[in-house]
Chain A
Amino acid sequence: MKSLLFWILSACLGAVVGVISALFMAGLLSVGPKIGGTVDVGGWTSDWSIGSESANPYVRARVARHGLLALRKEEAVYFTKSTDQSGNPLRETCVYRVEGSRLPATWWSITLYDSQSRLPMNTDRKLSFDKTKAEVTFGGDVAWLFDVRPSAINNEMPWVSSRGADEFDLTLRLYRPRADLLDDPVSVLDPPRITRLSCDGDDE
């Protein structure tokens, strides 16, 4: 009887270890490895596993959790950056200029999210900048720029509001990206540059 209990306990312990190790390996716990491809283009990072078909069960489990209902990569890819060109975290108390050139996609947008991955709680209606706005403002999307700031100023410069965001990041979405971007994102993507113009206490 004692042996039977010992064996049942061993099996139960083994099952628990198996479950936890699977969740850990698939990156479903708060800590753990990230199996799959991360792409970094000038500090703009993307999880290249999301939106692709993978036979790896760890990648499949992680993508199911973190990329649920995500578009295939042929439909859209996402890049996120949370620091400026100097490597400092993006903060609500600073003003930034974001500049870019033509992006290899049918349509694109850049959206600001707070550290909780939420749209910042403000009513400025300046949540993102996109290709349509670039074309309207600059007569095309060959070269464009906009500011990220916590409040409007009286000029014509398009802007995205960081009011209420505290620390934040910017997410670049590229819809229907060109095939060569999917093949070689590091060479093909000219990443937008985020330059800090001023911070609270500086002379703007």
Chain B
Amino acid sequence: MRRLVAFLLFIIAAIGGHALTLHLVPSVIMDTAQSRLADQGLPLHQWAASPRMTPQTQTIVRPSPDLSYSVCRFDVRDGPVLISAPGWDGYGSLSIFDDRTNNVFVANLDGENAEVLILPLSDKDALITPDLADKERVLIAEGLGLALIRRVAPDAQLHEAAVSLIDQSTCKVIRQY
């Protein structure tokens, strides 16, 4: 009897640990990424451009030297977040990732601007001012997320031009909770 109970406890704990680990891995990985960006001095709700990727500036594995990257950390627990990015002459995209690394939104920036309103599931019917009523909306389950802009910029001049577009990009809470 004693051994049977021990065996059952072993099996139950193994199944529970297995399932819980698989469930938590994406969140832990995104938390780590958020923490690293915060440690590098990137505050919430502010776009920042990465330096041009060269052998000397690379900080991640397999960086693309042909792309310009800009990133913004956001938190919908502070309120609905409006994210926008101007278009680009060439390949470009705006991607939104939730706190479980899911790519919940992507927009084309090839010659066209992109704009999206990020709302928490708990406030999906948030009262939005009339000027924002027609914006595309994305719902995310939890608080923190990442917005990422990629633009093809294979030389230094194009990279500078891509970085300069940060001033025309938006990543802000539009109504504080």
Given contacts A71-B93, A119-B53, whether A128 and B30 have CB atoms under 8 Å apart is no
In the complex, which range does the number of interface residues on chain A fall in?
A: 35 or more
How far is A24 from B141 in the complex, measured between Cα atoms in Å?
28
How far is A65 from B53 in the complex, measured between Cα atoms in Å?
21
Given contacts A69-B148, A71-B95, A117-B61, whether A14 and B21 have CB atoms under 8 Å apart is no
Inter-chain contact A69/B146, CB cutoff 8 Å: yes
* Cβ-Cβ contact count across A and B, 8 Å cutoff: 155
Given contacts A68-B33, A130-B154, whether A61 and B26 have CB atoms under 8 Å apart is yes
Inter-chain contact A127/B106, CB cutoff 8 Å: no
- Mark A102-140 against chain B: 1 for CB-CB distance below 8 A, else 0: 000011010101001111111101011010110000000
Choose, from A38-46, A171-179, A183-191, A195-203, the stretch at the interface.
Answer: A171-179
Inter-chain contact B91/A11, CB cutoff 8 Å: no
Choose, from A15-23, A83-91, A92-100, A147-155, the stretch at the interface.
Answer: A15-23
Inter-chain contact A22/B106, CB cutoff 8 Å: no
Contact partners of A6 in chain B: CB under 8 A: 2, 6
Q: Does A81 lie at the interface of the complex (its beta carbon under 8 Å from any beta carbon of B)?
A: no
Contact of A111 among B13, B20, B65 (CB under 8 A): B65
How far is A176 from B100 in the complex, measured between Cα atoms in Å?
24
Q: Does B43 lie at the interface of the complex (its beta carbon under 8 Å from any beta carbon of A)?
A: no
Q: Does B22 lie at the interface of the complex (its beta carbon under 8 Å from any beta carbon of A)?
A: yes
Contact partners of B22 in chain A: CB under 8 A: 22, 26, 57-58, 60-61
- Distance in angstroms from A106 CB to nearest chain B CB is 6
Q: Does B41 lie at the interface of the complex (its beta carbon under 8 Å from any beta carbon of A)?
A: no
- Distance in angstroms from A167 CB to nearest chain B CB is 15
Q: Does A12 lie at the interface of the complex (its beta carbon under 8 Å from any beta carbon of B)?
A: yes
**Chain A residues close to B by CB (< 8 Å):** 3, 6-7, 9-19, 21-23, 26, 28, 51, 53, 57-58, 60-61, 63-65, 68-72, 74-75, 106-107, 109, 111, 113, 116-123, 125, 127-128, 130, 132-133, 164, 171, 173, 175-176
**Chain B residues close to A by CB (< 8 Å):** 2, 5-7, 9-23, 25-26, 29-30, 33, 53-56, 58, 61-66, 90-91, 93, 95, 97, 100-103, 106, 110, 146, 148, 150, 152, 154
Task: List 5 additional A-B contacts (Cβ < 8 Å) besides A15-B14, A15-B16, A130-B66.
Answer: A11-B10, A14-B17, A57-B23, A69-B95, A121-B55
